[in-house]
Copies of this chain bind each other. A is one copy, B any other.
Amino acid sequence: MNAWYAAAWDTELKRELVPRTICGKPVVMYRKQDGSAVALADACWHRLLPLSMGELHGDNVICGYHGLEFDDSGRCVYMPSQDTINPSACVVSYPLVERHRFIWLWMGDPALADPAKVPDLHWNDDPEWASDGKLIKVKCDYRLVIDNLMDLTHETYVHGSSIGNRAVAEAPFTATHSDRTATITRWMKDIDAPPFWRGQLGKSGNVDRWQIINFEAPATIAIDVGVALAGTGAPEGDRSQGVSGFVLNTITPADEKTCHYFWAFARNYKTSEQRRTHELREGVAKIFGEDEIILEAQQIAIDNNPDHVIYNLNIDAGSMWARKLIDAMIAEEQQQAIAAE
């Protein structure tokens, strides 16, 4: 809970009340007259009606049942038929940062909400990169999405027609990690390019392909991907004969078995081609639709097999590290909670 989670794309918030469940809690979001964003608990203090069913009144929200009015800090500033306002009358206001085109909320202890800890997805609004993406709601534990992204072997089987080929399933990789991050690096040298990358590169001939998966706990993954003509020095750092992209992902639990999956694809080549941006967004959306089917089926299978012992293979090194870092954050938070009592 003590972490920043993406709650919306910047474009989703306007002068309207937007309801969304974040980490199990109903939240209502909107922009104030000055354009800044607000996130309040989406349940009136009085009789619990979702505030998102009410109306905006300047920078305040009016409940749609009995007209209680709350300001952007969550404090009640009007009650019907009442001269004095109960001082306890307020709803939670969540710490919020707008950065890298996402609205980030801090659902845990607000005293710990440090804006410096917002995950790094700067490619999403860096002028050197063209980026676009979507939000999908997936009916699975958010950690299954992380498992999926930390092991790209699945591209061969799930995405065979676009980005997968045998090389991904067979290539060796290395794994490194720090306190809050884990990185899986995989180079596939001198291979035939899969259809997607052949199209982006626009050249024939074998390629060196890379996938560098950067996980930042608890739920953000930026994957450095691309291909360059084989033997032109990409593995050593010279990507000038290739094309480079970032698959940006951040996943927010809605509840224990549903999550909001925000993703974008950023590239640093032909950044002014609007049509390419559009086609890439729709193409990647199709690929992630393939994952969505797998992930929801996997969640059902896990629910149906509660006693199944999970074995890890070599390919699971990345998701093992990601889960270890998430578990460490949870353990730390629980210790703090105990210490606080």
Binding site for B on A (CB under 8 A): 26, 43, 45-50, 53-54, 62-67, 79-82, 86, 88-89, 147, 151, 153-154, 156-158, 169-173, 293-294, 297-298, 301-302, 304-305, 308, 310-311, 313-315
B-chain residues with CB within 8 Å of residue A313 when the two chains form the complex = 46, 66, 79-82, 86
Q: Is the CB of B294 within 8 A of A169?
A: no
Q: From residue A36, how far is it (CB to closest CB) to chain B in Å?
A: 26
Complex copy number for this chain: 3
Q: Is the CB of A81 within 8 A of B315?
A: yes
Q: Is the CB of A298 within 8 A of B48?
A: yes
Q: Is the CB of A64 within 8 A of B311?
A: no
Q: Is the CB of A314 within 8 A of B172?
A: no
Q: Is the CB of B81 within 8 A of A157?
A: no
Q: Please, which residue of chain B has its CB at the minimum distance from the CB of A169?
A: B80
Q: From residue A300, how far is it (CB to closest CB) to chain B in Å?
A: 8
Given contacts A81-B169, A305-B43, A314-B82, contact A64 B151 (CB under 8 A): no
Q: Please, which residue of chain B has its CB at the minimum distance from the CB of A304?
A: B26
Report which residue of A50, A80, A294, A297 has the largest number of chain B beta carbons within 10 angstroms of its beta carbon: A80
How far is B169's CA from A169's CA once the two chains are assembled, in angstroms?
67
Report which residue of A50, A65, A154, A298 has the largest number of chain B beta carbons within 10 angstroms of its beta carbon: A65
B-chain residues with CB within 8 Å of residue A170 when the two chains form the complex = 80-81
How far is B154's CA from A62's CA once the two chains are assembled, in angstroms?
12
B-chain residues with CB within 8 Å of residue A297 when the two chains form the complex = 49-50, 53
Q: Is the CB of A65 within 8 A of B154?
A: yes
**Contact among B50, B81, B301 with A301 in the assembled complex (CB-CB below 8 Å):** B50
**Contact among B53, B66, B153 with A67 in the assembled complex (CB-CB below 8 Å):** B153
Q: Is the CB of B301 within 8 A of A172?
A: no
Q: Please, which residue of chain B has its CB at the minimum distance from the CB of A51?
A: B301
Q: Is the CB of A45 within 8 A of B311?
A: yes
How far is B233's CA from A254's CA once the two chains are assembled, in angstroms?
58
How far is B154's CA from A30's CA once the two chains are assembled, in angstroms?
24
Report which residue of A54, A62, A79, A172 has the largest number of chain B beta carbons within 10 angstroms of its beta carbon: A79
How far is B47's CA from A298's CA once the two chains are assembled, in angstroms?
7
Instruction: Please list 21 pairs of residues, one from A and one from B, whose beta carbons are closer than 8 Å in the complex, sorted by A's number.
Output: A26-B304, A47-B298, A48-B301, A48-B308, A49-B297, A49-B301, A53-B293, A53-B294, A63-B157, A64-B294, A65-B154, A65-B157, A65-B298, A67-B169, A80-B156, A80-B315, A81-B169, A81-B172, A81-B314, A82-B314, A86-B313
Q: Is the CB of B81 within 8 A of A26?
A: no
